[in-house]
Chains A and B, each alone.
Chain A
Amino acid sequence: MSLVNLDFAEELKEYSGDTALECFNCGTCAAICPLVNDNFPRRMIRYIQVGAREKILENSDELWRCLHCGLCTHTCPREADPGEIILGLKRFVLANWRKS
């Protein structure tokens, strides 16, 4: 089981806007995403909400499948900006790789 990191949302602020908490998990983004891939990007946003930092790092390669096409951001009913959150996660993961 992965550890939950309650400061994760705070840590992410350096890399991304803090809209993840707006998400109410409706799944519109995952339904519309051209990747049609296992609840992406919704799942990643859920990981942020619950502080599952390690889960994101474990599944990080998936982030780069994202085309940054913006369709999810455009259709999200909560203006949670999922496309930009994924871009922010790429920045966060890359910074972690470079630190390691």
Chain B
Amino acid sequence: MFNPRDIIEVLAANVRQTKSPFGIPKFMVNTWFKDLSLHKEGEYLLFTGLMYQFSPFIETSTQYLEKYEDTKTADYLKYAKWVPGYISGIGLAMMTKGKEKRKAGQPLKNIVYLLQKSKVDFGYRPELDDYSGILLYDMGDQKEFVAHAKKVAQKLQSAGIKKIITVDPHTAYALKELFPKYTGISFDVKPYFELLNFEPKDCSLEVTLHDPCFFGRYLKASDITRKQLSNMGISLTNIRNQGEFTSCCGGPAESISPSLSNEIMEKRAKELEEPGKPIIAYCPICLGNLKKSNANVEDLSSLLARHV
């Protein structure tokens, strides 16, 4: 286990300096939309919160952290906060393979395709698409979280944004529950799958759905996913911990203790693999973490985009 204080101070310094917990400048992280011609205006703003885009960088940094956990080198982490965020961030970006970065953008392209097929009126404005600060909140750094969240919320408010589509559970929770409480600014926030509207279909498929804690439990949104899947004729296997009682994938412990995170992930992966059907995740952290167990797992958006 790493010293939590060292990790928090590095994350907080990175967010302060670069608005990213990993110190990676946004132009290096957020490139998925460049070969699409997306409208800027619309009834809704698509707000990714950059979580899908961060996933390959999280994987690279976890690989390094894994090597140094519980070694003497771990003690040097406290000095990392003195390295300007963008320098360590650019280093991290360079160590991450281009192929992985491109792959991480695919769920977002799928989501755009699904929203367009459902005739949802939305726009995308990369300059307004920022990290929500959720990791700082989960780590207990309330002061830094609130300072960051205020900047993000005020920028959206000044741009006249009222309705937002989110794609991952952590950003959805931040914008829907935490922003009104801690920034005083509220938006009408909907996860993308709530807005999908397709003709019923019979795909005659069975999958195992892994509900992320924040969609399944905190936001109680797992029934919406189930309705969408059932509309496509995709049935679900019956696993013990699901919906509101879902079990964590272990992802949130990655930065503090990669070994603990792996332990929890292996347990959950075993449970999900038991019925022997493809596993569907709908959170970039869960997706990345479960992939480490070599489980047959894909993002909900990939499954839906293939079958609509």
Q: Which residues of A contact B (CB under 8 A)?
A: 15, 34-35, 60-61, 63-65, 67-71, 74-75, 87, 89-91, 93-94, 97
Contacts and interface: CB of A to CB of B under 8 A. Distances in A.
Contact of B4 (A34, A64, A87): A64
B247 interface: yes
Contact of A68 (B142, B252, B257, B267): B252
14 contacts: A34-B250, A34-B267, A35-B260, A60-B4, A61-B1, A63-B4, A64-B140, A67-B250, A70-B213, A70-B217, A71-B213, A71-B247, A91-B141, A93-B140
Given A65-B260, A70-B213, A90 B140 contact: yes
Given A34-B248, A90-B140, A91-B142, A65 B213 contact: no
Interface string B218-244: 100000000000000000000000001
B8 interface: yes
A65 B267 contact: no
A65 B244 contact: no
B3 interface: yes
A61 B3 contact: yes
Given A61-B3, A64-B4, A94 B253 contact: no
B245 interface: yes
A74 B245 contact: yes
A67 B248 CA distance: 8
A71 B140 contact: no
Given A71-B248, A94-B141, 6 more contacts: A60-B4, A70-B218, A71-B217, A71-B247, A94-B5, A94-B8
B177 to A, nearest CB: 12
